[in-house]
């Protein structure tokens, strides 16, 4: 499939990113920059051409670019993040996605929606009802995607839906049923194993912090690309948060 990968480099204030559900730990800014570069290189090696959103050095959480936009077909839905301090991230992401030739629309007040709460697989769009995404935001997204089945999901103890559940290339949902109740979940042996980015065919991107889950997926016939994102995990980040993939068929 492959295509474009929207990313944004971490800025000098990355260590000040919001932490909600885990204890705060010191973040090594230089190591975070190195890990992000390796993450982008892994996407590029898999055929995803990196497109960098403009720097946002005053916004600590800006490298978690997934939260600012949801791409479905030729439509880029610019979000209205639930954390007010993150809303300034969206304007520069709009600039980037317009450069990709996508049509843009926005979630508007009073709705809130974080892209990390939106999990797309097949014709279904699961949306986490979280501290960052409310019913108004979910209803607006459903109205903007009339051809998709939008399914709200109750969450517990996690920041976003995709902090708890993602999808394998064949559509199998993988995640922790303690955080999100969805039928047929494949339960990984490690929490970080819930976070999977399908890259192409049977290849997935995962965090290096989930080696037992990687072995599980390899036994299922998947090729696993592991990246170390430890500094972003300290900020409740995962492999899905750091990019928005736009397949070739959508970016032409």
Catalytic: 160? yes
Whether domain 3-251 has CATH 3.30.2130.10: no
- Among residues 36, 160, 179, 195, the one annotated as catalytic is 160
Decide the pairing of beta strands 124-129 and 118-121: antiparallel
CA-only gyration radius of the chain, Å: 16
Specify the pTM. Answer: 0.96
Residue 252 confidence (pLDDT) above 50: no
Domain ranges of the chain: 3-251
- Among residues 36, 179, 195, 241, the one annotated as catalytic is 241
1 falls in which pLDDT band (50, 70, 90)?
low
Catalytic: 241? yes
- Mean pLDDT (whole number) for 55-66: 98
Distance (Å, whole) CA 127 – CA 117: 5
**Residues 131-167: tens digit of each pLDDT:** 999 999 999 999 999 999 999 999 999 999 999 999 9
Percent of the chain with pLDDT over 90: 96
30: β partners:
none
Coil/strand/helix, residue 78: strand
- Mean pLDDT (whole number) for 66-71: 98
């Amino acid at each position: 499939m492959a295509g474009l990968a929207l990313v944004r480099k971490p800025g000098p204030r990355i260590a000040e990113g919001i932490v909600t559900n885990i204890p705060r730990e010191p973040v090594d800014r230089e190591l975070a920059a190195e890990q992000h570069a390796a993450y982008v290189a892994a996407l590029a090696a898999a055929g995803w051409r990196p497109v960098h959103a403009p720097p946002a050095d005053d916004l600590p959480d800006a490298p978690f670019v997934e939260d600012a936009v949801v791409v479905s077909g030729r439509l880029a839905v610019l979000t209205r993040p639930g954390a007010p301090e993150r809303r300034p991230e969206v304007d520069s992401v709009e600039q980037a996605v317009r450069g990709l030739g996508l049509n843009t629309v926005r979630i508007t007040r009073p709705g809130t929606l974080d892209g990390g709460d939106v999990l797309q697989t097949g014709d279904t769009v699961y949306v986490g009802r979280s501290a960052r995404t409310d019913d108004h935001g979910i209803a607006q997204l459903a109205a903007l995607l009339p051809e998709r089945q939008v399914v709200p999901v109750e969450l517990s103890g996690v920041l976003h839906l995709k902090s708890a559940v993602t999808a394998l290339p064949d559509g199998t949902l993988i995640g922790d049923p303690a955080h999100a109740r969805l039928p047929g979940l494949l339960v990984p042996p490690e929490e970080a194993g819930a976070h999977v980015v399908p890259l192409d065919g049977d290849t997935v991107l995962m965090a290096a912090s989930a080696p037992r889950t990687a072995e599980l997926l390899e036994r299922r016939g998947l090729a696993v690309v592991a990246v170390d994102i430890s500094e972003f995990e300290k900020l409740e980040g995962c492999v899905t948060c750091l990019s928005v993939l736009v397949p070739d068929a959508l970016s032409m």
